[in-house]
Amino acid sequence: MPSTPVARLAAPAVHPASPSLRHLAVVAAAWLAAVAVFGQAADRKVIIIDPGHGGDDNGARSTAGTFEKDVNLILAKALQTELSQDKQLQVVLTREGDQRLALEERAIHVNRLRADLFLSLHCAHAPQESSDGFLIYYFQPDADQADTYHYLKTPLGGRELRVLPWNLAQFQWVPASKEMAGILQRRLNEFYARSSGAPLGGPLKLLATVNCPAVLLEAGHLSNPADERRLDDAGHRAALAQVLRQAVAEFLKASEPIRETP
Amino acid sequence: MTRKVLLIALAVALVLSLAGVWILYRSELAKQAAERQEADAAAETMTPGAAPDDVTQGELQIKLYFRAPAPSAGTLALLTPEVRTIPQSIRKEYLIRRILDALIAGPTQGGGPTIPKGTIVRQVFVANNLAVIDFSREIAVRHPGGVLGEMATVYSIVNSVVDNVPGVDGVRILVDGSERSTLSGHLALDRSFGAAPEFVVGASGRDALIQEENLE
Ligand SMILES: [Zn+2]
């Protein structure tokens, strides 16, 4: 309720019909409008889509010569178009063109915008052509990282190192990220009529530094010709984007009650 | 007359002393070049077999970890072991080199390679219980990419070294003499790794290893 304190502030100035009253009314109206706009903006969820690789980092390469960086970007744009139909969402891409972007720069972007969800888009690559389908990852520390975090969080261990390293930012979001990964897996399983598969947790560099729920999707195998054809098809990308939008909506809805309690 | 002689003598002395300095300088240069050559030769002999201090004692059975044919859905069983017999180097650095050279040479029993062709091991040293391995740039620039491929590369190296070299509990990977943030854009490489048996075919699931309450 952001408008209440403003109304109260404006109330005592109402009775004398002086010229300053009109000024005050104008200021108050402007203030109210600003609060309304800001309030709405604050209600909007920020979704960051990260097309993996770029510039001289091509990512994986298909036998036909398709670069992962290009597939990632074109899919990210399809997803942005789809998600932007929801006016409650502010959708931002980490890169809009074919430029190199360090993993740290991507994380800076996400953390600065205080995103509500981060989706990194990639393609898989396997040594054998037969491997196909999507893969979903969330950050899961390995034993050494978990030990470090645990140590820093204990009262004695934390005494000398009160500041958590940046690359442990994702730790508090692991359960939420895992939930988003699960929702995405279920929806994509339905979409592709697959019955098996589960999200994979791993010590991924970018996700570790992201300070919000974060998931990495490998949308298909570039080493598999059928997957490559599908990813190259605009109709398929649009359908895939729709599924991703449903997953995002389901996740945001599920996480709402947690978010509103301070 | 005497003045002329004196001048000539002075000139001769000057030329002689300059020549002396020049000769000394040249010999110093030659000495330095020889030292450099010696150092280069010593570096080359870090290759097993060629090194005079690579003393071997019998043979050693080792387990190399290569890429598993295709992990079953939802698991990270990326690696499959392959047993080999290699000469047992007494020095850990040489033992690690033998293991890595075998890993680079590739599998013979059905697994897939994990290290790109053309990669060489530039240097190896062991500090306390950590093995620091410096690979040539091919390990990164020729990497085929993908999250699982990257994990397979890193953990095939880490598991193969930690499993087979007594007293080594962790591995740090450098590329071309420098730290690198990832090999191909996904897995954090700027830290030390311990062995991860959960990535080997037949191991229990990763989630069983790290429980969520560890994160509270
Ligand atoms: Zn990628």
pLDDT digits (tens, 9 = 90+) for A137-155: 999 887 777 777 777 777 6
Token pair for A256: 């709402």
Beta carbons within 8 Å of B158's beta carbon, 6+ residues apart: B170, B171, B193, B194, B195, B196
Element (H, E) at A233: none
Q: Greater confidence, A143 or A177?
A: A177
Question: B89-115 burial by CB neighbour count: b if 16+ within 10 A, else e?
Answer: bebbbbbbbbbbebbbeebeeebbbbb
Task: Taking residues B157-183, report their average pLDDT.
Answer: 96
Interface test with B, best of A125, A136, A223, A224 (most B CBs within 10 A): A125
Counting Cβ atoms within 10 Å, is residue A112 exposed (0-12), middle (13-18) or buried (19+)?
A: exposed
Strand partners, A157: none
> Do residues B75 and B205 lie in contact, with contact meaning Cβ atoms separated by under 8 Å?
yes
In chain B, where the domains are located: 1-45, 56-214
Interface test with A, best of B80, B143, B147, B204 (most A CBs within 10 A): B147
Task: Taking residues A126-131, report their average pLDDT.
Answer: 89
Asked if A200's CB is within 8 angstroms of B146's CB, the reply is: no
- Closest CA of chain B from A124, distance in Å: 5
Token pair for B52: 């005079």
> Do residues A246 and A182 lie in contact, with contact meaning Cβ atoms separated by under 8 Å?
no
Residue B118 is which amino acid? G
Helices (H), chain A: 4-10, 19-43, 68-83, 103-112, 143-153, 174-191, 205-208, 225-232, 234-260
Report whether pLDDT(B180) > 60. yes
Q: Rounded distance, CA A26 to CA B124, Å?
A: 73
DSSP annotation string for A50-118: EE--BTTB---B-TT--BHHHHHHHHHHHHHHHHTTSTTEEEEES-SSS----HHHHHHHHHHTT-SEE
- Closest CA of chain B from A170, distance in Å: 10
Q: Rounded distance, CA B35 to CA B29, Å?
A: 10
Model confidence pLDDT, tens digit, residues B94-103: 999 999 999 9
What local confidence, expressed as pLDDT, does residue B48 receive? 52
Ligand 1 centre distance from Cα of residue B211 (Å): 27
Report how far apart, in Å, the C-alpha atoms of B144 and of each of A28, B111, B155 are: 61, 16, 16
> Do residues A102 and A194 lie in contact, with contact meaning Cβ atoms separated by under 8 Å?
no
Place A33 in a pLDDT band, splitting at 50, 70 and 90: low
Model confidence pLDDT, tens digit, residues B43-94: 444 555 557 778 888 899 999 999 998 766 666 788 999 999 999 998 999 9
Residue B15 is which amino acid? V
Q: How many CB pairs under 8 A join A and B?
A: 116
Q: Rounded distance, CA A122 to CA A34, Å?
A: 39
> Do residues A125 and A223 lie in contact, with contact meaning Cβ atoms separated by under 8 Å?
yes
Cα three-residue angle B108-B68-B162, rounded to 5 degrees: 80
Query: Which residues of B fall within a CB distance of 8 Å from A53?
Result: 185
Cα three-residue angle B17-B19-B22, rounded to 5 degrees: 110
Terminal-to-terminal C-alpha distance of chain B: 102
Model confidence pLDDT, tens digit, residues A236-259: 999 999 999 999 999 999 887 654
Report whether pLDDT(A16) > 50. no
In chain A, where the domains are located: 15-253
Q: Report the SS3 class of residue A217.
A: strand
Task: Taking residues B149-157, report their average pLDDT.
Answer: 96
- Judge if pTM exceeds 0.90: no
Query: Which residues of B fall within a CB distance of 8 Å from A146?
Result: 210, 214-215
Give the sign of the dihedral formed by CA B72, CA B75, CA B79, CA B82: negative
HSE-up of A79 (CA within 13 Å, CB side)? 30
CATH number, span A15-253: 3.40.630.40
> Do residues B56 and B180 lie in contact, with contact meaning Cβ atoms separated by under 8 Å?
no
HSE-up of B212 (CA within 13 Å, CB side)? 8
Report whether pLDDT(A136) > 70. yes
- Choose the closest CB to B209 out of A125, A143, A167: A143
Q: Rounded distance, CA A245 to CA A91, Å?
A: 11
Element (H, E) at B88: strand B79-89
Query: Which residues of A fall within a CB distance of 8 Å from B189?
Result: 205
Beta carbons within 8 Å of B123's beta carbon, 6+ residues apart: B46, B133, B134
Provide the edge-to-edge strand list for the sheet that holds A89-93.
A89-93, A45-51, A117-124, A214-221, A135-139, A200-202
Q: Report the SS3 class of residue B189.
A: coil
What local confidence, expressed as pLDDT, does residue B204 receive? 56
- Closest CA of chain B from A214, distance in Å: 14
> Do residues B123 and B87 lie in contact, with contact meaning Cβ atoms separated by under 8 Å?
no
